[in-house]
Each structure stands twice: as C-alpha cells, then as structure tokens.
Chains A and B, each alone.
Chain A
Amino acid sequence: MAKYLLLKHYRGAPASVNDVPMDQWTPEELSAHVQYMRDFAARLEGTGEFVDSQALSPKGTFVRYDGEGRPPVTDGPFAETKDLIAGWMVIDVETYGRALELAGELSAAPGAGGKPIHEWLEVRPFLSAAPTITE
C-alpha cells in the first residue's frame, strides 16, 4: 500500500470544466456537493483506503523567525499568491492507478447545475519509511 495526497487548490490549478464559483451555486447544489464529499470519504473508509480529509481556510499568514529574542515576523495574506491550497484527502491504496481512479471520482463532485465540476486535483505520493531490505 502507498499513501497519496489528493490536493485541492483554491487557486493555482488549471480551470475546471464546470468553472462556476461556489457562491453562485444554489443552496441545493451546495448541499449535494457536500454530501458527495461525505459519501466519498465514507465509501473509502469502507474499502479500507481512507486516511484523512481536511479543508483549509483561504486566509493564511506567512511567518518567519526574526532573530534571537524577537517575536516572529508575520506578513500576508497575499492576494497575489499564485497557489492556494483549499484542502486535501489522504488515501492509502494498492496502486498508483487506484490513486488516479479515486482522484478522478473526487473530481466528479457535482457543482453548478448539479453537473460534475471536472476540477483538477493534484495527486502527490507520500515519501514512505525506508524498507528493511534494499540490496
């Protein structure tokens, strides 16, 4: 088994096919979308492939060390930041092909008009622990 991160972007991914902002959807369309995500996670738990799912607020703050005895410097949020992560799902699956298949299904979540969003999701493999036998 290998773990993959299915990454959803607010910004930075290519445009979806059904590219209507969420605030333009009807309340029913929003409910259908949320229900689809819940059902998807529940189904993956049932197949023994679910690890984690989280959503992030778009409001991020940049922080850095500013030297001994000084409070950290903060900056942002930056309106011009190109890449903005919206959330993720972590799955534990048998093959890379299975990871792509599940990302494809997640991308079919319904949006405006109840039609699939066809959203671009980023699939990233986890770096695992080192195996015992390598030679």
Chain B
Amino acid sequence: MDEAPLRTLTPTVIGILVRRGADFAAAEDAVQDALVEAVRVWPDAPPRDPKGWLVTVAWRKFLDAARADTSRRHREVLVESEPVPGPGEAVDDTLQLYFLCAHPSLTPASAVALTLRAVGGLTTRQIAQAYLVPEATMAQRISRAKRTVSSAQFDQPGDVTTVLRVLYLVFNEGYSGDVDLAAEAIRLTRQLAARTKHEEVAGLLALMLLHHARRPARTRPDGRLVPLTEQDRGLWDTRLIAEGVDVLQAALTRDRLGEFQAQAAIAALHADARTAEETDWVQIVEWYDELVRLTGSPVARLNRAVAVGEADGPRAGLAALAGLDPSLPRHTAAAAYLHERDGDPVTAARLYTEAARSAPNLPERDHLTRQAARLNAELRG
C-alpha cells in the first residue's frame, strides 16, 4: 500500500494525543505503533475514517503503555481521567510539531531524524537505512532528541527558519536506501507551506521543486554526474518547473527576499533556458549578488565567480575567484573549469586532478577525474 497518505496524518494525530494530555515522547511512540498496525490491517479492512481510526488506536496504545508503566503515578492518574478536547482550534498542531522537531536545542542530525519520524511518520528503520547507520543507533538518536525537547512547551511559537534548515538538509541528502528523502522533503515542505504564509517557506519549496525537476537528467543510468550544461533538457520535468516558478513568483511579489527565494530564482533562470547557451548569466550574476548580500556565504561567492565567468568571460571569472579562500570546497574545481574555458588545458588538467583528490563525494570525484583524463588524452594528441 502507498504509505504516504497514511503518514500525512502523523503530526495531526500526535497533536491530538498531546492535547488530550499525553506527553510528546509517549504520544509519538503511540502513533508510530498505530501506524505500524495500520499498514498491517488497512489493506484488508480499510477504515471509513482513517484519522479517527488512527486516533482511537494510538490513544489505546498510549493508555496501554501508560498502564504498563506503573512506576509513574501521574500517568496512572491521567489514565483514569476522561480525555478532554483541548484548545486545539487556535493553534495548528502540525505546525507546532515542525517547530518542536526543529527546536534550536537539537543538533541538525537529531532535528532531521525527529522531523522524519514525528512529522513524516517514517519508521526508525527507514530513517536508519536512509542515513546508512544501524537501526539501534538511529533509535538512540531519536530518543535522545525526544528527551532534549521534552521540557519544551508545545504551544510556544517557533522559528520557521530553523525548520527550513532541517527540511533543506533532508532534501539535500539525496536518495539512498528505500526512502526517497528528496521527495519526502518536498512533501513536508508542501505541508508546511499550506500552513504558513512565510515567503521563505515558499522560496524553499520552489527551490526544491526546480531542482527535483532536473533529477532525471542529473545522473546517467550508471550513476555518472551530468553537469548542468550537458544535461538533456528534454528530461526535465516541466510540470514541476511550472509549479516551482509559480510558487516563487507568488513569494517574490511579497517583496521580502530571503536566501531560499534567491537560490530558487537562480534555479528558475536555469530552468527557463531551452539550451545551455540561452542561459541568462547576467541575471544569474545579479541574483548571486543578492545571495551574497543576504548570506555573506563564501560558497555563494564561489558560485558567483563561476557565473561571472559565464557572463563576462573566464578571465573575469578567474579574477572573481582570485579574491576567495582557495581552501573553499570546490574552489579548485571551479578554477580548473575556468582555466579550460580560458584555453589553458595544461593548468586545467592539473587542477582537475588536484580537485578530484579533495572531492567530498564519489560521483564528484569520478567526474573530476574524468575531466582530467579527457584533457590529458587531448594533450597527448
């Protein structure tokens, strides 16, 4: 069965249990148990009211766990009392869960794991597989995260930018294992965007959609990376691009620019070009200027230098690069690219080899090694 619609109900049901008096950690466990039962039972006996079913089963699981936990008297008291409908209407439980799971007291990795479980409804095993760690390790990471936020107020307004960082991390992790983390990040960001009018939520959603649209063209079947300029643009998902552009444009009209909107604007300009040659590099450089102004990020400066190389020629790109710290990730790779465009294959080949040695991941290392090999073969004639 497709578990995504079921998982969508996760945060709502946790919220209902918390409002009935369950603490967050116990509510979260109970809802996980209920989800597992739903996956088992629903294919043969689909409920008429899925949410109602989950609430009933999760609440029963919670009561069972609380009863079993006899050493904790206060829960015993709670069990005896009738559930009271809380003041649920004023606050959006799902939104509160996003804030709680991205609480500033959590490390990024803990926030990611907790968000995927409590908001995304993924099992610990699925999360562990996606991040290539043992299930026991991931279980500990999640239970520590729950302990860390246990004293946090469920009703406190949170900071949406911390939530965006977490969702960005999930999206950027890519797709290893059974769970498509990029698709999951998009689902969670969509759900968030439906609940808040924050421009940067829209900006991040647009950014994700525009990058996801290119996914079929980004790698060859053998796993090889395909640079943007060489991608088969016919493989880009035009429906996702159209949606991303719409979401971005609506956000930009509100005139509260942020880094995700700026990044999405750059992605939109790439998406807009029917061929690599038609890319509007001048506008892209302007957006990188905005991005640098907004973030001061050295990585944005590096990407800007590459864009300058396209807009004003490789010499201008190299000049822009010269002012940056050479130890920046991908600095050497950018220099190699610009030197090749400047007609200096000897320097470019040497730099590609050097860049491959410090590449942070395997597909990039292979790509850089292949660039060096291509130039060296040409140089041998």
Interface of A toward B, CB cutoff 8 Å: 1, 3, 44-52, 92, 94, 127-135
Measured in the bound complex, the distance between the Cα atoms of B134 and A44 in whole Å is 12
Give B171's nearest chain A residue, CB to CB. Answer: A132
Number of interface residues of B (CB under 8 A): 42
The listed residue (A50, A129, A135) touching B134 by CB distance below 8 A is A50
Q: Is the CB of A133 within 8 A of B172?
A: yes
Give the shortest distance, in Å, between A65 (CB) and chain B (any CB).
22
Contacts of B109 in A (CB 8 A): 1, 48, 92, 94
Measured in the bound complex, the distance between the Cα atoms of B141 and A44 in whole Å is 10
Known: A92-B131, A94-B107. Contact between A133 and B211, CB under 8 A? yes
Contacts of B267 in A (CB 8 A): 135
Give the shortest distance, in Å, between A122 (CB) and chain B (any CB).
17
Measured in the bound complex, the distance between the Cα atoms of B361 and A92 in whole Å is 15
Contacts of A129 in B (CB 8 A): 173-174, 176, 361-363
Contacts of B176 in A (CB 8 A): 129
Contacts of B263 in A (CB 8 A): 133
Q: Is the CB of B110 within 8 A of A127?
A: no
Q: Is the CB of A131 within 8 A of B137?
A: no
Q: Is the CB of B137 within 8 A of A45?
A: yes
Q: Is the CB of A127 within 8 A of B362?
A: yes
Q: Is the CB of A130 within 8 A of B141?
A: no
Contacts of A49 in B (CB 8 A): 137
Contacts of B172 in A (CB 8 A): 131-133
Interface of B toward A, CB cutoff 8 Å: 107-110, 113, 131-134, 136-138, 140-142, 144, 171-174, 176, 182, 207, 211-212, 215, 225, 228, 263, 266-267, 270, 303, 306, 330, 359-365
With a 10 A CB-CB cut-off, give which of A44, A94, A128 has the most chain B CB atoms.
A128
Q: Is the CB of B365 within 8 A of A127?
A: yes
Known: A132-B172, A135-B266. Contact between A48 and B144, CB under 8 A? yes
Measured in the bound complex, the distance between the Cα atoms of B140 and A94 in whole Å is 15
Measured in the bound complex, the distance between the Cα atoms of B133 and A92 in whole Å is 8
17 A-B residue pairs with Cβ-Cβ distance under 8 Å, sorted by A, are: A1-B108, A48-B137, A48-B141, A49-B137, A50-B136, A92-B109, A92-B133, A92-B137, A94-B107, A127-B362, A129-B173, A130-B225, A130-B362, A132-B171, A132-B174, A133-B171, A135-B270
Give the shortest distance, in Å, between A109 (CB) and chain B (any CB).
21
Contacts of A131 in B (CB 8 A): 172-174, 361
Q: Is the CB of B140 within 8 A of A1?
A: no
For chain A, what secondary structure do more than half of its interface residues adopt (helix, strand, loop), or is it mixed? loop
Give B307's nearest chain A residue, CB to CB. Answer: A135
Give B360's nearest chain A residue, CB to CB. Answer: A128
Give the shortest distance, in Å, between B284 (CB) and chain A (any CB).
9
Q: Is the CB of B138 within 8 A of A132?
A: no
In the A-B complex, the 8 residue pairs with the smallest Cβ-Cβ separation, listed nearest first, are A48-B141, A130-B363, A1-B109, A127-B362, A128-B361, A48-B140, A131-B172, A130-B361
Q: Is the CB of A130 within 8 A of B144?
A: no
Q: Is the CB of B361 within 8 A of A48?
A: no
Measured in the bound complex, the distance between the Cα atoms of B169 and A128 in whole Å is 14
Contacts of B107 in A (CB 8 A): 94
Measured in the bound complex, the distance between the Cα atoms of B79 and A102 in whole Å is 44
Give B185's nearest chain A residue, CB to CB. Answer: A132
The listed residue (B132, B136, B361) touching A45 by CB distance below 8 A is B136
Contacts of B137 in A (CB 8 A): 44-45, 48-51, 92
Give the shortest distance, in Å, between A95 (CB) and chain B (any CB).
10
Measured in the bound complex, the distance between the Cα atoms of B108 and A134 in whole Å is 19
Give the shortest distance, in Å, between B104 (CB) and chain A (any CB).
15
Contacts of B140 in A (CB 8 A): 45-48
Measured in the bound complex, the distance between the Cα atoms of B215 and A134 in whole Å is 13
Measured in the bound complex, the distance between the Cα atoms of B176 and A128 in whole Å is 11
Contacts of A50 in B (CB 8 A): 133-134, 136-137
Give A44's nearest chain B residue, CB to CB. Answer: B137
Give A135's nearest chain B residue, CB to CB. Answer: B303
Give the shortest distance, in Å, between A1 (CB) and chain B (any CB).
4
Measured in the bound complex, the distance between the Cα atoms of B360 and A51 in whole Å is 20
With a 10 A CB-CB cut-off, give which of A3, A44, A46, A131 has the most chain B CB atoms.
A131
Contacts of B228 in A (CB 8 A): 135
Measured in the bound complex, the distance between the Cα atoms of B138 and A49 in whole Å is 8
With a 10 A CB-CB cut-off, give which of A3, A46, A130 has the most chain B CB atoms.
A130
Q: Is the CB of B108 within 8 A of A94?
A: yes
Measured in the bound complex, the distance between the Cα atoms of B109 and A3 in whole Å is 12
16 more A-B contacts (CB under 8 A) besides A50-B137, A127-B360? A1-B108, A46-B144, A48-B113, A50-B136, A51-B134, A51-B137, A92-B131, A92-B133, A127-B361, A130-B174, A132-B172, A132-B174, A132-B211, A132-B212, A132-B215, A133-B172
